[in-house]
A and B are shown apart, each in its own frame.
Chain A
């Protein structure tokens, strides 16, 4: 297996405030956010419909989460690794993900 490389669009999503600082108990003093439940459902749907197997994803979370995305908090691993895997498989590409994120951000910030 070739060495994995991080995607810039994902590295850009890491705000300094979210950076992982505690490697022993990564969840820290926090309550899971609603988007994390939504992400779990997305993972289940991807596995169910055959696009990204759950076990494969979880192994990728361990592998990539401890290497190329080691600065990311553990609770963000699912979303980062799912995006990474879909780009690896050419299901989506960086440009369209970047564009979609911009669209979503604008929608959520709309007054």
Chain B
């Protein structure tokens, strides 16, 4: 097959997966029998793909400025999410495949650093962080994070002092986790919106720490000299 796009076609082998065929067959039969509509399916797909880490960023920023909210968030993450407009029961009123899960927010402290993983597959708190990054689903991350967390974190540029305990949380079909990083120095007097901008996806997974001079919207190659030095580690 020729292409004018200058890159390889997405489906390189042309080999049709029987599971793909089975998925389409099941879906089409279900629609034909009126179990749900094609519109239902499209809406779910669109909804799932519209989730992003901004929800989690809002949660953390609000918790940083509102101690009472922080307490509620740490006590019952699922309920506290509703206060920033995040409902784990969306979009059906009964939830998603993340149904029946408990959402736990893990607070970092000067002596404790949390990080999340799913060793079995790729369980991830999608309602608050959106779709998981590609690397989160790789065996390189999943297998090694639980065994050598400091080594893996260092590969992300995060070097933790030996006196900081690293706690790895393994997600599963019943429990989803998100990390609440510590508020960095230099953000005194900031608004929730300003704070939310520096709480990036990776900070809430636990492979990075928020910095007052970095948001995920910046182009790394255009970072200021202090950012380029990579002072991201907790010393």
B80-102: CB near A (< 8 Å → 1, else 0) gives 00000000000011111101100
Which residues of B line the A interface, CB within 8 A? 16-30, 33, 35-36, 40-41, 44-45, 48-49, 92-97, 99-100, 119-122, 134, 137-139, 142-143, 173
Q: Are A37 and B120 in contact (CB under 8 A)?
A: no
Contact A100 B29 (CB under 8 A): yes
Q: Produce 1/0 per residue, A65-108, CB < 8 A to B.
A: 00000000011100110110010000110001100110111001
Which chain B residues border A83 with CB–CB below 8 Å?
22, 25-26
In the complex, are the beta carbons of B19 and A13 less than 8 A apart? Answer: yes
B19 adjacent to A18 (CB under 8 Å): yes
List chain A residues, Cβ under 8 A from B41.
38, 41-42, 45
Tally of contacts, chain A with chain B, CB under 8 A: 145
Chain A residues near B19: list those with CB within 8 A.
13, 18, 33, 35, 76, 79
8 contacts between A and B (CB under 8 A): A35-B17, A42-B30, A45-B35, A45-B36, A76-B19, A83-B26, A91-B35, A92-B29
When chains A and B are docked, how far (Å) is the Cα of A29 from the Cα of B134? 12
Taking a contact as CB atoms under 8 Å apart, the answer to whether B29 and A97 are in contact is yes
Query: Within A35-50, which residues are at the interface with B (CB < 8 Å)?
Result: 35-49
Contact residues, A16-59 vs B (CB, 8 A): 18, 25-29, 31-33, 35-49, 51, 54-55, 58
Beta-carbon contact of A51 and B99 below 8 Å: no
Report chain A residues within 8 Å CB of B95.
54
- Asked whether A8 is an interface residue with its Cβ less than 8 Å from the other chain, the reply is no
> How far, in whole Å, are A66 and B139 apart by their CA atoms in the complex?
21
Given contacts A40-B48, A105-B16, contact A31 B29 (CB under 8 A): no
A54 touching B121 by the CB < 8 A rule?
Answer: no
